[in-house]
Amino acid sequence: MFLQHLLSRARHCIRLTPRLTPASYWRSSTQHFSLCDRGHSTGGGGQVTKDKHQIRSCLQSSTVKISGAIKLPASSIVQVEWRDGETDVYPYVWLRDHCQCPNCFHPTTKSRILSLEDFQLSISPTSIQVVEDGRRVEIGWSDGHLGSYPASWLHQRAFNTHQLNLRAETIRMKQKLWGCELSEDLPRVSFPELLENDWALLAFLQQLEVMGLVLISQTPAQTKQCHLLSQRVAYCSRTYYGETFKVHNKTDPNNLAYTQYSLGLHTDLPCLSYKPGVQLLHCISQIEGDGGDNLFVDSFQAAAIFRSLHPDRFNLLVKTPVVFSDTGVEDGQKFHIANQTSVICLDEAGNIATVNMNNICRDFINLAPADVFGWYEALYVFSNILNHPQNVISYKLKPGDIIVLDNMRVLHGRKGFNSTSGERLLEGCYWDWDMVRSRRRVLQANLVTP
């Protein structure tokens, strides 16, 4: 009986998926995403996960109703029972802190008014009442306040595994690492679709977050197209090279990118403490013949390989502070940019957060002279893994292409070229990940949530 119940829930999930999925906008066959299809069922076959928490919460939070709510005093927890018989639990202190009444939570600014100074840790409910046909619960508190909690709001914020995972995925989508095989299946989208269609835009932003690399085609081969696309996504993040920049063979260049030399695999501008999150490179003209191809590597995949094969060397690149610096003149203004970080940065959970490989602006290493050789050895080994053919994608941008990459993760490089075989002109700009993810969340809320 219980198994039938789970399967019926899972079928509910699978029915929802096609309506929610923006995957039809992709020519590639890479996986698609929606708020309900990750981790619940596989495409086509409908293989069902046995995780009760994952199956149960496929119910839309906006339509749930509460059948009852009781105190569990021994654990200072309120247990809410939903109409379908499932339950969730909420600690007293958390509920009091998150009261949704207009005296505690401002309804239009969506901000907490209640201050911690007025907060009692020993708070407990004196009454609990389900009202409005199960759409809201009212809790009388021992401080005399009457708290109010919409059912849909509570359901979205439940402490169960599925809701925790959904919220984590809303904050930051899980990345899918890749090697050279991605060149057969590079995520692609057309520029006109991105400008006109919100589903296409959402799919593009999701792919950018998950894969870290998307190719946009059919862009007019003229300047200011990055600006046009930015108006749909996020403002261009200005750096000391300007709001947008043109990459071509300049006379008297202030950056090696503005020459015909090859560029090794790198992330842009680790000399900035706020390194750009996303880079766009729009190809306006390309040289004929050999050279000028772009190279791309998923540095997180390479770093994971490096970590498993050479853990001590990996740790050396994590722990050693390196100064990245850049000096020059742009628009008549001298600049001297410098930032101290490490080649591989981890987050608080020990996951790789970013890779700072940049031969152009790598400067000083803060090490005792006797330790320098070992650090170079580690960098050399990591560089070999990054440049291994199994990890590198080569793609020569055509006029009308925009390559968009996650600059925290995907390294890019360029083969040298002969500037006498035509003009190679790219226009680039950067976006902040905060703004890109904001746009993705807003689109998800508008398009996916009923």
Applying CB under 5 A, the residues found at the interface with Zn ion are 99, 101, 104, 147
Q: Which is nearer to Zn ion, 115 or 251 (CB)?
A: 115
To the nearest whole angstrom, how small is the minimum distance from the Cβ of residue 96 to Zn ion?
8
To the nearest whole angstrom, how small is the minimum distance from the Cβ of residue 99 to Zn ion?
3
Q: CA 408 to CA 403: how far, in whole Å?
A: 15
Q: Which is nearer to Zn ion, 99 or 411 (CB)?
A: 99
Contact 156, 193 (CB under 8 A): no
To the nearest whole angstrom, how small is the minimum distance from the Cβ of residue 128 to Zn ion?
14
Burial of 399 by CB count in 10 Å (0-12 exposed, 13-18 middle, 19+ buried)?
Answer: middle
| Angle ∠(367,372,373) on CA atoms, nearest 5 | 165
β-sheet bridge partners, residue 46: none
Q: Which is nearer to Zn ion, 147 or 292 (CB)?
A: 147
To the nearest whole angstrom, how small is the minimum distance from the Cβ of residue 112 to Zn ion?
10
Q: CA 40 to CA 12: how far, in whole Å?
A: 11
Q: CA 41 to CA 71: how far, in whole Å?
A: 35
Residue type, 432: D
To the nearest whole angstrom, how small is the minimum distance from the Cβ of residue 103 to Zn ion?
5
- Largest alpha-carbon pair distance within the chain? 82
The closest of 141, 131, 121, 153 to 69, measured between CA atoms, is 131
Q: Which is nearer to Zn ion, 131 or 329 (CB)?
A: 131
Contact 23, 202 (CB under 8 A): no
Give the position of tokens 């503005």. 258
Q: Establish how many alpha carbons lie within 13 A of residue 153's alpha carbon, considering only the half-sphere containing its beta carbon.
A: 13
To the nearest whole angstrom, how small is the minimum distance from the Cβ of residue 24 to Zn ion?
44
Q: Which is nearer to Zn ion, 114 or 323 (CB)?
A: 114
β-sheet bridge partners, residue 189: 216
To the nearest whole angstrom, how small is the minimum distance from the Cβ of residue 56 to Zn ion?
29
Residue 265 tokens, joined? 């695999």
The closest of 407, 435, 216 to 300, measured between CA atoms, is 407
Give the position of tokens 């069902």. 48
Q: Which is nearer to Zn ion, 90 or 245 (CB)?
A: 90
To the nearest whole angstrom, how small is the minimum distance from the Cβ of residue 107 to Zn ion?
11
Q: Which is nearer to Zn ion, 51 or 143 (CB)?
A: 143
Element (H, E) at 9: helix 2-20
Q: Which is nearer to Zn ion, 104 or 234 (CB)?
A: 104
Q: For 41-59, b where at least 16 C-beta lie within 10 A, e where not — what string?
A: beeeeeebeeebebbbbbb
Q: Which is nearer to Zn ion, 143 or 243 (CB)?
A: 143
To the nearest whole angstrom, how small is the minimum distance from the Cβ of residue 147 to Zn ion?
5
